[in-house]
Amino acid sequence: MPVSTPHPKYELYKPIWSRTRDAVKGSVAVKEKKHIYLPVPDPDTLDERLGTGTLRYRQYITRAVFANFTGRTKNALVGAAFRKEPAIDIPSGLDYLINDATGDGLSLEQLAKDELANLLECGRSFLLVDYPQADEGLTREQVNSLGLKANVVPYDCEQVINWKTEAVNGRKLLTKIVLAENYSVSADEFEHDVEVQYRVLRLRPEGYSQQIYREEMPFTEEFFPTKSDGTRWTEIPALFVGSKNNDSTVDDAPLADIAEVNIAHYRNSADYEESCFITGQPTLFLTTSLSAEQFEESNPDGIKLGSRAGHLLGETGSATLLQPNANSLVLEAMKAKEQQMVAIGARIITDRGSNETAEGARIRFASENSVLGDIVGNLSSALKKCISWCGEFMGVADDVQIIINKEFYDKSVDPQLIMSMVQLMDRQIISDQDIFNRLRAAGIIEGERTLDDVRDELEDLSPV
């Protein structure tokens, strides 16, 4: 089978990912898909070649309004997770990752934000730790002079087209991953033409290898990346990140349900706007006893609506303005879908004017926060693992700590609680680390400060 053969689960979930991505992007992306999301009212007029229909359909799609509840919800959830800076503690040999984690200038915090957004949209992401190739036989000093550094390469779930796992020495490991990448084929500097190549990651008995395929054929030889000590990898330094766990199974996309209702809301909007356009204008109906010649003679300029003109309709003539009653059926359907999105978790569209207490909001969105908390925990764990792999590439072995905030709401610090915690610490029931964690969760202590920093500062204080 060719290298571009997709995994069966990839084919199953790709339409869901595509729909959610489009809903997050907003009106331009949704309307660009035309009848895929907004069926043509008269299917017999559909032009399959152009993906559109008659003038009526073009007007129909233009009047439709896509209110981007899905994208706004995603932004709100990412903002809730990063309302406080993540706590990052990595060894000095890897501190370059803080400002450039991906090798192209993306900071570690921004990488975490992007990956959280991907996980909310699709429930799945992929991170590969890679090291630029260098000639064999170079010394450590020569490698350092070249500025070669390990980095974390993120891939969207749509780029991971195939994968396999096997039990190796009692561990379930990834043994093959096929990644679809774009590479430039532009003839000059102003073009943006790209084609697809496939990067194949394999775990062989002799170690982890990479190979590039183009046009379904091998483009490079299979090569084996090594660690800083020259040994080969016994695992692929890459992992899936999921909304439920970090294994190779495809997890549900948290925003998929909201996206589906959001697009249904868009279809209702198209019907409602067309109804308003077609029947919203009042229509004038006339009855007259005049003949056509008499009517034209009496009203040489025709009939105009308004109070500045008079019209002769004859002895038994009359004029009536007819206007339809409000079409509330479609409008009620739209409102019902908005409530569905609120129930699913789109708190960004909740009525801010309500008198709901903060604690009530916490309870009402407990399930949503549980999902977001799981994703944040999975992402923190994945980034920690990737930084450790970078350390193996760079020859840096030390503890790594990265914790993304899980306190999605403001929590007030009760002075009595703090005093009680101090008393518990004096009785050696809890430690100063517990008090420190509570104060940092409340935002009183900044995220990048550690307990050791606080202890060092206290030691430097003058007793006076």
Q: What's the token pair of residue 307?
A: 């109070």
Output phi, psi for 416, to 5 deg.
Answer: -65, -35
In tens, the pLDDT along 400-455 reads: 889 888 877 665 566 777 777 777 777 788 888 888 877 776 667 766 677 777 77
In tens, the pLDDT along 148-186 reads: 899 999 999 999 999 999 988 888 999 999 999 999 988
Q: Show pLDDT as tens, one digit a residue, over the chain (464 residues).
A: 899 999 999 999 999 999 999 999 999 999 999 989 998 876 665 555 444 457 778 888 888 889 888 988 898 889 888 988 898 999 988 999 999 999 989 999 999 999 999 999 999 999 999 998 765 655 556 656 667 899 999 999 999 999 999 988 888 999 999 999 999 988 888 888 999 999 999 999 999 999 999 999 999 999 999 998 889 999 999 999 999 999 999 999 999 988 998 999 898 888 877 877 777 667 777 788 778 788 788 778 777 776 666 666 677 777 776 666 666 666 777 777 777 676 565 443 333 444 544 455 554 444 445 788 889 999 999 999 999 999 999 988 888 889 888 877 665 566 777 777 777 777 788 888 888 877 776 667 766 677 777 777 766 655 54
CA 160 to mean position of chain CA atoms: 17
In tens, the pLDDT along 112-145 reads: 999 999 999 999 999 999 998 765 655 556 656 6
Indicate the domain borders of the chain: 282-323, 411-464
pTM of the model: 0.76
**CB 150 within 8 Å of CB 130:** yes
Longest dimension (CA), the chain: 110
